Structure 1
């Protein structure tokens, strides 16, 4: 099968247009079909990337126009031709996120799922993509950042040709274009690049390199404790620094990140800010995915079908367990203290406990319904769903503590992850890919640890009862208790959008607001005759005592409503975890857990 050749050029940065060509040397004699994915792996929502294709035409190798028809929302078919067939099309790129494509006169970014049409029937053909520089002196200092291997003659970080073994590999390597800060460090001998696009004053790349090195080496050692062999030959952390943003998306040898520029470290300031700690946790999360979900995958993802939703009930394992390890790795690598970690864990527990959806939806159901519920949340989401990320991370904690307690710390969740890696992940891209079957997870846990976990699977994965975290933490000498809002102010039991208007974004089950007949979308205008806004609501509520009755005026659509609200007590902001048991056995168990 002959290689598929692509070109991509930022043709009109001011208009946010990439021009892309794809050439098939040996097209289907019956008429070549092309498809653009409707979703991107790692983000479980149909996003309809084809809607951003503005123009499209086809020509034969003589340059003559070839008829091409769109057959459905993301598929095209060209008329039969002799010789090579080329499609040329424009892609509108104005999505400043990690999921799609973005282009202006300062920077460019794209995922292959947003820009590269797949010639159907040629998915396993080698791909060569020529990434071209935009015209004009303003772009003379632009460079290319990607983990795609260069074709001979193309310099690292330079414009030119890059290659992939097949279409799946091509679209699993995002690309950043523009001027960016760059640093490289080695983790267990493997080069890792850090790319920061966007203006950041006083950026401390040396500190960032040192901190990410510790994270990467800790994760490599977790999966390969003897060989310390990384699963990649090179890795790229690429970050877009913006005024306000947060997110990441994993890829097989890189990650695309977006963060608040204020979260990045500043030269000469050694304090670990909450923002920087959050950014390191994000990097840790996406790097852990290099093993867990990029190589250890659900069977339904081996391979992906990018034309439709791919359903799995295992995202609690692939996202939730990753969320557990992302912060745990920070404490294991010495970047944060035990108390810092307990504070972060307590915040996660508080977030899960706030929503009554945790009592209605299991993490397995949450995983399966990610396409229609988690990624399409509405105003009732807190009352109807649970996050397979946050609740999944607590499920991972429960498994880890249970396994350690049953085996006297001889086994842990680390052993489960290593077995999954050895059985499914290590050779995923070296031979026929095999994914984890939905029905074999429980047996794999038992094989890896010897622990009796059937009851925990039933309650934590397939049940909706709250996890007995106090009981599970006790053998490790850790107490857990709810921590009320420090100001002790009463609450409405509703989430409010900030701003000039005091609009209710969500109303919690059995809350003061719900009992008073208030609903999401209502705009509060007065409490006891005093004007209320999104910014002064907390201050007004702080003047009352829990249980006080307040007259509330609100608009629902264009109708004024008056109701009386009996205020709820202070909200549980988080849970406080304290290492109170200092006895040797508890201290040793705790140290083994946090330093494995």
Structure 2
């Protein structure tokens, strides 16, 4: 097939406009149709990227105008032409996230799903994209960061032509434009780039490279313990630094990340901040996706249908298991201590048990409904849904410990991940893609470990009862117990929206606030006659004992309400995991779990 040729230019950075052209050498003689994806893999929500196309026109090889009609929300069809057909269009890019596109006079970023129209019927054709520099002297230091392979004549990090084997590969390599800090390290012989865009001061790039190297090599060895062969020829961590932000999105040979500038390590300061631990966990999470979801995929994603929702009940395995391994890799590589790891697990347990939605929705149901529930959370979300990320990570923990306990630590969840990799992931992009069937999970676990965990999977992933964490941790000499608020502060059972006003973002089911008739959206203005703000609620509540009755004044819309609230016992924000059995056998089990 003849290649599809794209050009993308940051045409008007101040207006946040990319200009894109796509040229088809052999368009459909009946009229060529073009489609822009409605969602981006890894972020399970229909986002309607086509809404950001501002202008669109078509021309023939001879330069004549060609009529174009829009036939649905994301598809255009050009009239028949002889010879080449070119579409030229503008894309508005003002979404500072990892999911879409962003452009101003300081930096640029785009995912292919936001900017590259797909000529229907040509999805398998090779693609060439010419990434051009914005005009003007102020952009002379701009560079290009992407895992897309360079075409002949283009230097790495330079503007010019890049290539992809097909449309699916083209849109799976995000691109960062601008001035950025850069560092490179090898992980088992494969180059990995670290790109830091945005105003980041005194970032310790050497430390960051050394820490990420440990993470990457541990994950490569987990999936390929003998060959230590990475599934990529090159990998790029690209991070946009902001004042307040967090997130990541996986791709087949790179990841797009956003973090607070204070999260990154500072040259000359050896301490590890909580923000830096969180950032390393995010990098670990997205890198693990290189195997788990980018190559090992649910059958519903093999291949993706980018025109609509793709439903699967297995995101608890793909996102939940990845959430389990992201911090587990940190402790296995010595980047955090076992006590710090237990603290992270305890925080997750507290978060899961705080919401009553866990008793109504299983993680399998949460996976299937992610398009309309998890990614579209409202004020009732804690009472109606459960996260397949957080509870999914605890499901993985239970399965790992159960396998280890039944096999005296000879087998583990690692063996399951390796089987999934060998069966479904290793050759995913080399032949006909095959995804993990929804109905074979239990059989795959049994094949990999010799342990029948069907009942546990049924209860943990497809049921709504709380997980048997205490029983699972006991053979490893670890106990788990609730850790109430240290200050003994009574609770309203609410989550407050940030800001000057004390606006209730969510009211937990059965809480003191709900029993008193308070609702999400209410603005608390006084407790027992004292003014409440977004910053002093905890201090005011700390002056009371659990069970105390207080008078609360609040606005609902423009109506003043007054109600009596009987304060609850302190919230359990987290659970404590403690080593209680230090016998040699138990200690060795823990070491193999946390340090193998």
- Tell me the TM-score normalised to structure 2 length: 1.00
Q: CA deviation at 1:119?
A: 0.1
CA distance in 1, matches of 2:469, 2:27: 59
Q: CA deviation at 1:555?
A: 1.0
Secondary structure at the aligned position of 2:439 is classed as: helix
What is aligned with 1:15? 15
What is aligned with 2:457? 457
What is aligned with 2:162? 162
What is aligned with 1:222? 222
What is aligned with 1:542? 542
What is aligned with 1:145? 145
Q: CA deviation at 1:201?
A: 1.0
What is aligned with 1:254? 254
What is aligned with 1:213? 213
Q: CA deviation at 1:188?
A: 0.2
CA distance in 2, matches of 1:532, 1:293: 46
Secondary structure at the aligned position of 1:89 is classed as: strand
- 5 Å matches for 1:254-273? 254-273=254-273
Post-superposition CA distance 1:320-363 (Å, at most 9, x none): 00000000000001111111100111111111010000111000
The root-mean-square deviation of aligned C-alpha atoms, in Å, is 0.5
The reply to whether residue 171 of structure 1 matches residue 171 of structure 2 is yes
What is aligned with 2:193? 193
What is aligned with 1:305? 305
Post-superposition CA distance 1:450-477 (Å, at most 9, x none): 1121210111011111111011000001
CA distance in 2, matches of 1:543, 1:340: 31
4+ aligned runs moved over 6 Å, structure 1? none
What is aligned with 1:446? 446
CA distance in 2, matches of 1:288, 1:126: 28
Secondary structure at the aligned position of 1:439 is classed as: coil
The reply to whether residue 393 of structure 1 matches residue 390 of structure 2 is no
CA distance in 2, matches of 1:528, 1:335: 48
CA distance in 1, matches of 2:539, 2:147: 50
CA distance in 2, matches of 1:490, 1:138: 56
Secondary structure at the aligned position of 2:440 is classed as: helix
Gaps of 5+ in 1: none
Post-superposition CA distance 1:201-239 (Å, at most 9, x none): 111000000000000000000000000000000000000
What is aligned with 1:466? 466
Aligned residues of 2:445 and 2:452 also touching (Cα < 8 A): no
CA distance in 2, matches of 1:475, 1:373: 37
What is aligned with 1:519? 519
Q: CA deviation at 1:559?
A: 1.2
- Tell me the TM-score normalised to structure 1 length: 1.00
Aligned residues of 2:132 and 2:159 also touching (Cα < 8 A): yes
What is aligned with 1:64? 64
Post-superposition CA distance 1:466-496 (Å, at most 9, x none): 1110110000011111001111100101111
- 5 Å matches for 1:399-418? 399-418=399-418
Q: CA deviation at 1:281?
A: 0.2
What is aligned with 2:491? 491
What is aligned with 1:44? 44
What is aligned with 1:338? 338
Post-superposition CA distance 1:388-438 (Å, at most 9, x none): 000000000000000000011010000000000000000000111100010
Secondary structure at the aligned position of 1:399 is classed as: helix
What is aligned with 2:54? 54
The reply to whether residue 359 of structure 1 matches residue 359 of structure 2 is yes
What is aligned with 2:278? 278
What is aligned with 1:476? 476
Aligned residues of 2:500 and 2:535 also touching (Cα < 8 A): yes
Gaps of 5+ in 2: none
The reply to whether residue 123 of structure 1 matches residue 154 of structure 2 is no
Post-superposition CA distance 1:124-178 (Å, at most 9, x none): 0000000001000000000000000000100000000000000000000000000
Post-superposition CA distance 1:523-572 (Å, at most 9, x none): 11111111111111111100100000001111111111111000001010
Secondary structure at the aligned position of 1:71 is classed as: strand
CA distance in 2, matches of 1:261, 1:75: 39
CA distance in 1, matches of 2:572, 2:400: 26
Q: CA deviation at 1:501?
A: 1.1
Q: CA deviation at 1:252?
A: 0.2
Post-superposition CA distance 1:15-62 (Å, at most 9, x none): 000000000000000000000000000000000000000000000001
What is aligned with 1:553? 553
Aligned residues of 2:503 and 2:524 also touching (Cα < 8 A): yes
CA distance in 2, matches of 1:573, 1:488: 12
Q: CA deviation at 1:242?
A: 0.5
Secondary structure at the aligned position of 1:135 is classed as: coil
Q: CA deviation at 1:199?
A: 1.1
Aligned residues of 2:442 and 2:452 also touching (Cα < 8 A): no
Count of residues in correspondence between the two structures: 596
What is aligned with 2:28? 28
Post-superposition CA distance 1:361-403 (Å, at most 9, x none): 0000000000000000000000000000000000000000000
CA distance in 1, matches of 2:530, 2:266: 43
CA distance in 1, matches of 2:203, 2:526: 45
Q: CA deviation at 1:498?
A: 2.5
Q: CA deviation at 1:502?
A: 1.0
Secondary structure at the aligned position of 1:573 is classed as: strand
CA distance in 1, matches of 2:262, 2:532: 31
What is aligned with 1:383? 383
- 5 Å matches for 1:561-576? 561-576=561-576
